[in-house]
A and B are shown apart, each in its own frame.
Chain A
Amino acid sequence: MRSDFFKWMLSGESRGILGINRRNLDYVYPGSSRKFFRLADRKLETKKILEKAGLPFPETVMIFREFREIIDLRERLGDKENFVIKPDRGKMGSGIMVLGERSGSGFLDSEGNEVEPGKIRKRLGDIILGVYSNGLNDFAFLEKRIFPHSFFSDLYPRGLSDIRIITYRKEPVMAMMRIPTGESGGRANLHQGGVGVAVEISSGLTYAAGIKRVEIREHPDTGAGLIGKRVPFFSEMLRMCSLLPDEIRLDYLGFDFAVDRKRGPLILEINARPGLEIQNVGSAGLYRLLLDRNEGAE
């Protein structure tokens, strides 16, 4: 390992791996004005853009902008069920609370556990107070719950799997699927224990899978095979990535998709600073792919 370290130090281009310094310096920040980060960071703003561009996204049911809007929560909720609470500015899925079917005065979450109204109020309050947005005031909103396409529920029946596609100047660079496990508490997040599955851009086929960098070939809970599967609507998702309007000047983005069994692929959110772990999932360096792309373009 030590000789490799020196090779890395001397090589300069780090074997095609994209580190956070280069990601920020060369890809995320140059050519992007701050106001566009705001559009990507706030999910409600993002939805406005998607709507204008004719791109599909989960339907917003209700928005809580101020504390006092939580007071008459019961009346506002009526007898609605199956929605998700999200912080407008939350990152990496933090602050999300799934409320499925009604259960007494409360709801059942995606794992089948009871969620009482007090917890719901507290979550809404915490979001507005900024617990999930670094202390800055935030909005909470409810959006319609997504019931995943059978492809995903066959791999794991609970929680919501998503597809992350990294794009540079509207061209897809790398893609992966994230699947929750029992261990991860229904969350698809990689560092919470979700399964990362590498998806080949050209074919939409999965070619590698792992949990926290340990290679696996089947889902630990269901035993479903993870390699060689074709992701449904993948080319559709790729197409959607290129449809973001030109005025939104963000060169380097991560699109998060979920496939609803009725509506098909929906854009959950757009990430202006997508994480780097996808490189470990796909065993490929983003920097090399980005450089190849540039050469191809010229």
Chain B
Amino acid sequence: MRRWALISLLLIIVTAGIILFKIFYLDYDPFDVIPEKGYKLTLEITTENRRNRSVEITTFVPQDSTKQQVYREESISDAFRFRIMKVNGNKQAQWRGENVSGVNKIKYISRIKSVKVKYLFTNDTVVPGEYPESLKAYLKRSDFIQVDSKAIKRKMEELTTDKYTLYEKIRAIHDFIVKDIRYVNFSGGLDADSTLQLLEASCNGKSRLYVAMVRQLGIPARVVGGIILNRSPKKTTHQWVEIYLNGHWVPFCPTNNYFAELPRRYITLYTGDEVLFRYSSKIGFNYRFSFEKVNIPKPGLSLKYRDLPVNIFAVLENFEKFNISLNILIYLLMLPLGALVSVILRNIIGFQTFGIFLPILVASVLKGTGIFLGLMTFSGIIFLVFFINFAITKLELLYHPKMSILLSGVILSILVLFLTGIAFKNYELINVVFFPVAIIAITVNRVMTIIEEEGSMKLLTVTLNTLVVIIICFYFMNSTFLQLAMLSFPELILLLAGFNILIGRWSGIRFTEFIRFYPVFKKGIRDEE
């Protein structure tokens, strides 16, 4: 067999071999590659101490539950000693400093994967009559949750007398507190009784009243505290309710009307009617929460797949550690695929483009700029080069200075569009400035080559060809399926090389040649007949 065929076959076999080995021997799941959406939650605390005594700050920090998973946490606090404590099933962070004066900062960062939860709570749901000791605590009264309050009991019975199932009863309580207790945003707390009396409260009062009423039904319930990740940065924290049903702590939010479900953006910091921050008296204390959405690789994978020859998961985790977007890795991995597509379009179909790599470069830019705008910008550059060249032809300049002027002209035009976009608040025009200068420069060069060597008509056909190739490459390079394939099996690059070898030895007629030589082709058929 010929050498090239052998090499090609070898590459295909090796690739297939690695893939099969991964799937069958290592139980590889390609979907493990997909990173999960998570949050990076940062708590910044600023303290000011003038009296040279010890300072202590305690707060609750996120921990794992059915709804959330904490990946990595770190505390950055130069002046303080830090420790984590488990208190009442909650995770507490404590910072302590002796002789800490002046202004000091603490940062606590957790990376959290959070999911939306929804529980099937229906008319058929029933609860036991008795609860173990550990849960009985959630039936008791407290100073702020007055389970023994007659007023609350009266109201609760009024709401639930004509309701038969548990679902209907809790629904009634829920709807009452959502609709009939007016929400007011104030930072202090309000006990359950007062909430019922005033018929208005913040999330705190609503939750306490809710819990009181449910406890009166004999069902364990608790206040839960956390934060809603809707705005960054923010200070407002939030409280809602969990009711113990059928072995689960099911969430309910009487402020935002979530019944037996909770969206992703709710992060739990503690359970129970607690106060989020505790700190030494007589110190200045300020805090701020901020968050950003991040891609978190599934945890534990580099361990699960440590036998892999090419351990992409170690790579992924390192990307995450260095805060580099996964997109860069995807971008790199898809380039060889784009190159192959470009080669097929050229050597088999017969498209004539501005160079073999320019279409791939432009295709990879289109993701950021948007297809239409990116192609418009690209075409605009070509047209600009043609136009400026036409205008300065009479000056009969030498080649390189002319190229320099063309490049400057294009960049100047982009700046003008950018400023126009700013003036008219048109975001599309503003985005032209992101079109990479490297691509602009290469395009200017290639356009001029075509104009000089082959004329303006050829420029038009090559431009159209290039646009088509760009669009096709774009769809291949942005296919989620192909991206997943390349991420899961980066050894596919070998396969691409194998295909390139095959195409490199293919001597057939290109499709455009078929059209070009059709009369001769037809004559060949006639001669044979």
Partner-B contacts on A (CB < 8 A): 1, 4-5, 7-8, 12, 14-17, 19-22, 25-26, 91-92, 94, 118-119, 122, 125-126, 129-132, 134-135, 191-192, 213, 276, 279-280, 283-285, 288
- The CA of A4 and the CA of B525, in the complex, are separated in Å by 9
- Expressed in whole angstroms, the minimum distance between the Cβ of A166 and any Cβ of chain B is 15
6 more contacts with CB within 8 A, not counting A8-B514, A21-B507, A122-B398, are A1-B518, A4-B518, A15-B525, A213-B519, A285-B524, A288-B524
Which A residues touch B520, using CB under 8 A?
A: 15, 17, 279-280, 283-285
B400 touches A (CB below 8 Å)? yes
Choose one: B398, B510, B524; the contact of A15 (CB below 8 Å): B524
Q: How far is the CB of A67 from chain B (nearest CB, A)?
A: 10
A131 engages B452 (CB within 8 Å): yes
Distance to closest chain B CB from A1 (angstroms): 7
Chain B 420-458, CB-CB to A under 8 Å as 1, else 0, gives 000000000000000000000000000001001111000
Shortest distance between the CB of B405 and any CB in chain A (Å): 15
Q: Find out whether the CB atom of B508 lies under 8 angstroms from the CB atom of A12.
A: yes
Q: Which residue of B lies closest to A23 (CB)?
A: B507
The answer, yes or no, to whether B164 is at the interface (CB within 8 Å) is: no
Q: Chain B: which residue is nearest A119 at the CB level?
A: B396
- B507 contacts A25, C-beta separation under 8 Å: yes
Is the Cβ of B399 less than 8 Å from the Cβ of A21?
no
**Residue from A8, A92, A132, A134 within 8 A of B521 (CB atoms):** A8
Contacts of A126 in B (CB 8 A): 398-399
A21 to B521, CA, bound (A): 17
**Which residue of A21, A276, A280, A285 contacts B508 across the interface (Cβ within 8 Å)?**
A21
A280 adjacent to B519 (CB under 8 Å): yes
Tell yes or no: B502 within 8 A of A by CB: no
Chain A contacts for B399, CB-based, 8 A: 126, 129-131
CB distance from A23 to the nearest CB of B (A): 9
Residues of B within 8 A of A8 (CB): 509, 514, 521
A280:B517 contact, CB within 8 angstroms: yes
| Least distance between A237 CB and chain B CB atoms (Å) | 24
Task: Please name all residues of chain B whose beta carbon is closer than 8 Å to the beta carbon of A122 when the two chains form the complex.
Answer: 396, 398
Q: Are the CB atoms of B396 and A118 closer together than 8 Å?
A: yes
The interface residues of chain A lying within 8 Å CB-to-CB of B86 are: none
User: Known interface pairs A17-B513, A21-B509, A26-B507. Does A4 touch B398 (Cβ–Cβ under 8 Å)?
Assistant: no
Residues of A within 8 A of B400 (CB): 129
Contacts of A19 in B (CB 8 A): 507-510, 513
Interface centre among B399, B455, B523 (most CB of A within 10 A): B399
How many residues of B sit at the interface, in one of the four size bands? 20 to 34
CA distance A20 to B509 in the complex (A): 7
Interface residues of B in 44-99 (CB under 8 A from A): none
Cross-chain contact B509 with A4 (CB below 8 angstroms)? no
CA of A15 to CA of B508, assembled, Å: 11
A20 near B513: Cβ-Cβ < 8 Å: yes
- 0/1 string, B483-522, CB within 8 A of A gives 1: 0000000000000000000000111111001101111111
B510 contacts which of A12, A21, A288 (Cβ < 8 Å)? A21
B347 in contact (CB, < 8 A): yes
Some 24 contacts from A to B, beta carbons below 8 A apart, are A4-B518, A4-B521, A17-B517, A19-B510, A21-B508, A21-B509, A22-B508, A25-B507, A92-B453, A94-B452, A118-B396, A122-B398, A126-B398, A129-B398, A131-B399, A132-B453, A135-B449, A191-B454, A276-B517, A280-B519, A280-B520, A283-B523, A285-B521, A285-B524
Give the shortest distance, in Å, between B392 (CB) and chain A (any CB). Answer: 13
Inter-chain contacts of B509 with A (CB < 8 A): 8, 14, 17, 19, 21-22
Across the interface, do A283 and B519 meet the contact criterion of CB distance under 8 Å? yes
A118 to B394, CA, bound (A): 12
Which residues of B lie under 8 Å from residue A191 when comparing CB positions?
454
Question: Which residues does chain B contribute within 8 Å of A1, judged by CB atoms?
Answer: 518
Instruction: Specify which chain A residues have a CB less than 8 angstroms from the CB of B452 in the assembled complex.
Output: 94, 131-132
CB distance from A10 to the nearest CB of B (A): 11
Digitize B369-409: 1 where CB-to-A-CB distance is under 8 Å, 0 elsewhere.
00000000000000000000000000010111000000000
Compute how far the CA of A4 lies from the CA of B518 in the bound complex, rounded to whole angstroms. Answer: 9
Complex A-B, nearest 9 residue pairs according to Cβ-Cβ distance, in ascending order: A15-B524, A22-B507, A19-B509, A14-B509, A25-B507, A19-B513, A131-B399, A129-B399, A17-B517
| A215 nearest CB across to chain B (Å) | 9
Contacts of A21 in B (CB 8 A): 347, 506-510
Most A C-beta atoms less than 10 A away, residue of B399, B454, B523, B524:
B524
Q: Are A125 and B398 in contact (CB under 8 A)?
A: yes
